[in-house]
Chain A
Amino acid sequence: MRVIADQDKCVGSGQCVLAAAQVFDQREEDGIVTLLIDNPPPELHEAVRQAAAICPALAITVLEEP
């Protein structure tokens, strides 16, 4: 799995951090999304899919194939 986070689209709602804190973080200065890892291990896949599904700005893209 590969994860892409679009910082231009992000509105800083923090939903992704709540869903998968091992994968997503927020910039100190404005709360905009940053990726901690972009190829999460299988045990985090479900949480990452959840993060993408609840992101209000549709800023997270999940590529299931590596």
Chain B
Amino acid sequence: MSRAMTNTTDQALVDTPDYPMPRAAGCPFDPPPALRALQAQAPITRVRLWDGSTPWLVTRYADQRALLADPRISSDTTAPGYPHISAGVRERRTQARTFISMDDPEHARLRRMVTATFAIKRVEALRPAIQRIVDDLIDQMLAGPTPVDLVQAFALPVPSLVICHLLGVPYADHDFFQRNSKLLINRDTPPEVSRQAQATLTDYLDRLITDKLAHPADDLLSRLAHEQVRTGELTQRELAVVASLLLVAGHETTANMIALGTLALLQHPDQLAALRATTDPALIRSTVEELLRYLTIVHSGRRRVALADIEIDDQLIHAGDGVILATEVGNRDEQAFADPDALDLHRDARAHVAFGFGVHQCLGQPLARVELQVVYGTLYRRIPTLRLVGDVADIPFKHDGAVYGVYELPVTWSTTHLSETA
């Protein structure tokens, strides 16, 4: 190798930025400045991960959509070039594989076993039950002492109660599965701890499925146990792994949207006032879409690997290369959204990629939407004086999470001016 070439290689190594990148101090809702710079100057470029690998990072919205919908892009977590989030997440995604880590046709076969549950009409039918859950939790908060941590008192229980109701998992076990979910979703969890957490959760659900086979109830686990395990389509263990995915995905993400969304709204009092004053379902719907876009809590990118050479935007991605679609900055692309850094509850943000894009787009998105519509449409109306205790600078943000959010959110309110009814 010539000296010049060595130097070029060294220079390339020095110039390859680390991913993920830190957010700017004082800008907890905005993507890292270094990501914005790449979007402007090097929209498809190599980055360096925790394990020293250098996959492609794609930062523009249009490129992200094109690649996520491209059948030459794979979600196979066992492929050698697949860019894993961390050693812990790699452990889980390779040991306990579900359809989110597979390609078609296997992906479609497995995903279609559970899509009916999340169909729009089915989820819409859950709205009254979700409204009751939200109102009961608000009643309990109002009856208790202040200040209160909104994460523990409200943001986590809402989606946990909903997913337990849907799956048929006893909510009494929530401390147990929330603790294990947290381990599975943190970037920094060591592989052996991640493996143990996944095994513990799968064992628990496996036992529950045995129970559902003997005593079926009107819930998703009972239905899948009878339709898929009894018929031999899935082994009981495979169903337990799918159930663990639904349980984890079903509450961590929505909980983060509730708490972080509330903080974002409290920091934008004009917008919050407009939301609080409305009963217009259209504004509540657009609020959910805009907060999904603005916050994009999946802030470690969507991870893929190329199955063939792909030419895009003057770059050549080779077969076997890892590809990361940084949707957390794609949703702030000015080519896709006018004035992208403004939180504007009235904008039409429906084309956001907060749930991903392509065949792997979030399965539970209709449920997440209804939960968030009920929460954002109820919480600030029933507690109009809800406010943060202390300074936003003191809030612990989940910089280390595969999913972004806040660890706690201390809030209080004035006991006068409470709205009596939902």
Contacts and interface: CB of A to CB of B under 8 A. Distances in A.
Interface stretch (B15-23, B272-280, B357-365, B398-406): B357-365
A27 B116 CA distance: 8
B137 interface: no
Contacts of B216: none
A29 B365 CA distance: 18
A25 B258 CA distance: 29
Interface in B77-132: 108, 111-112, 115-123
Interface residues of A, number: 23
A14 B359 contact: no
B359 A26 contact: no
Contacts, number: 72
A30 B115 contact: yes
Interface residues of B, number: 28
Given A19-B350, A53-B351, A56-B358, A13 B112 contact: no
A31 B363 CA distance: 11
A54 to B, nearest CB: 6
B286 to A, nearest CB: 12
7 contacts: A11-B361, A12-B112, A26-B121, A30-B112, A31-B118, A31-B119, A58-B69
Interface of A: 9, 11-15, 17-19, 21, 26-32, 50, 53-54, 56-58
Given A12-B363, A13-B355, 17 more contacts: A11-B111, A11-B115, A13-B363, A13-B366, A14-B118, A14-B365, A17-B119, A18-B120, A21-B120, A26-B119, A31-B117, A31-B122, A50-B350, A53-B351, A56-B357, A56-B361, A57-B358
